[in-house]
Amino acid sequence: MGSLEVAKLGHVALEVPDLEGSLRFWRDIVGLEEVERREGEVYLRAWGDFEHHTLVLMRGEEAQLHHVAWRTRRPEDVEAFRDHLRAQGVEVEEVEPGAEAGQGYAIRFFVPTSGHPFEIYYQVEKPKAPEGLRSRLKNQVYPAFRRGVSPRRIDHVNLWTGGQDPTPTHDWLVEHLGFKVREYIQLPNLRLGAWMSVTPLVHDIAVMFDGATQGPRFHHVAYYLDNWQDVLRGLTIFKEHGILPDLGPGQHGISQAFYSYVRDPFSGHLLELFSGGYLILDPDWEPLEWRPEELVDGLFWWGDRWDPQTQPDHPFSRTTGVRRPGVRVG
């Protein structure tokens, strides 16, 4: 489809059964800033996020992913994507400007191979922080370290395909949204997962197999912190709120991320605190294959320990659901 590519991850919208509880986690403890509130919806972003929001918490019947939103390179690309997807037989919903706060015309659809709800948009407000909460740095929105763990910006999402082979989804993201595969795990009978990006980040999205569930699942959204030490400081803060990480601290082999995973106790949605990693600036990057015997190293370079034979029920395997076609929130 030529040059029709998304430009970057925009935000994640998560349905949560206890909106006030989840706000306590994401805003008061994680430290995201509340930008706007509507009935049943709160829009949040990190201190270094420029767009109106990178996380939407929506009151819902259950904890599930409402959508992952991708920004296009040009305004006209949203309609081009709409037409292209429809030409592929994908059912596309149009979202009016303002239906999502701070955002213009957008489209929503379910990834045909996996069933994950995606949104594509271009127009978005980039509001300054309110007076008194504004960073003195003109290239930064809010002051860092105002409250809680205080990550800098959204980094990526990780989606699981349940019992389905994720390879068709990897291929679909490459062919239709412009993603490139950066690293992947190849098992004898299955590509276990791929780390993919349209930016120099190793992944804006990862899509992985999950033998224990059926259908599309949401694994986590990651926020970036400038220093490994900031992740450790975060764990100290979480523990004082009675929250232990599911995983970490440790380093992934794949992406080289220094990580820890912490779960919103009010919804079960998972957050990755992510620091480090590497950038892929080369135009001719060859996807890196991790072989079966490298699986553990790829996932857990050091820090967490995992024996796939004896620990099929690893904490890493717990996911939350995703919104299905035809189901409205609220």
Summarize as ranges the residues that interact with its own copies (CB under 8 A).
7-8, 48, 50-51, 71-74, 126, 135-140, 143-145, 152-153, 183, 199-202, 226-229, 232-233, 235-240, 242, 244-245, 248-251, 253-256, 258, 275-276, 278-279, 281-283, 288, 290, 294, 297, 301-303, 305
- Report which of 136, 123, 135, 177 is spatially closest to residue 49, judged by C-alpha positions: 135
* Residue 15 or 304 with smaller CB distance to its own copies: 304
* Residue 214 or 229 with smaller CB distance to its own copies: 229
* Residue 17 or 276 with smaller CB distance to its own copies: 276
Task: Determine contact, residues 251/302, Cβ cutoff 8 Å.
Answer: yes
* Residue 29 or 58 with smaller CB distance to its own copies: 29
* Residue 158 or 161 with smaller CB distance to its own copies: 158
Smallest separation (angstroms) from its own copies to the CB of 31: 10
Smallest separation (angstroms) from its own copies to the CB of 19: 23
Smallest separation (angstroms) from its own copies to the CB of 220: 18
Element (H, E) at 308: none
Smallest separation (angstroms) from its own copies to the CB of 171: 22
Smallest separation (angstroms) from its own copies to the CB of 240: 4
Strand order in the sheet with 288-290: 247-251, 257-263, 270-276, 217-224, 153-160, 205-208, 190-197, 180-187, 288-290
Task: Determine contact, residues 124/104, Cβ cutoff 8 Å.
Answer: yes
Smallest separation (angstroms) from its own copies to the CB of 305: 7
Rounded Cα distance between 159 and 319, Å, is 9
Cα 295 to Cα 234, 235, 251, 278, 304: the distances in Å are 28, 26, 14, 19, 13
* Residue 52 or 323 with smaller CB distance to its own copies: 52
Per-position DSSP letters for 160-175, written without gaps between them: E-TTS-SHHHHHHIII
* Residue 61 or 302 with smaller CB distance to its own copies: 302
List helix spans (H) across 213-299: 228-240, 295-299
Cα 93 to Cα 1, 99, 138, 215, 256: the distances in Å are 21, 12, 37, 21, 37
* Residue 50 or 317 with smaller CB distance to its own copies: 50
Cis peptide before 17 (omega within 30 of 0): no
Half-sphere exposure (CA, 13 Å, Cβ side) for 103?
28
φ, ψ for residue 62, nearest 5 deg? -145, 170
Smallest separation (angstroms) from its own copies to the CB of 62: 27
Smallest separation (angstroms) from its own copies to the CB of 84: 18
Element (H, E) at 55: strand 55-59
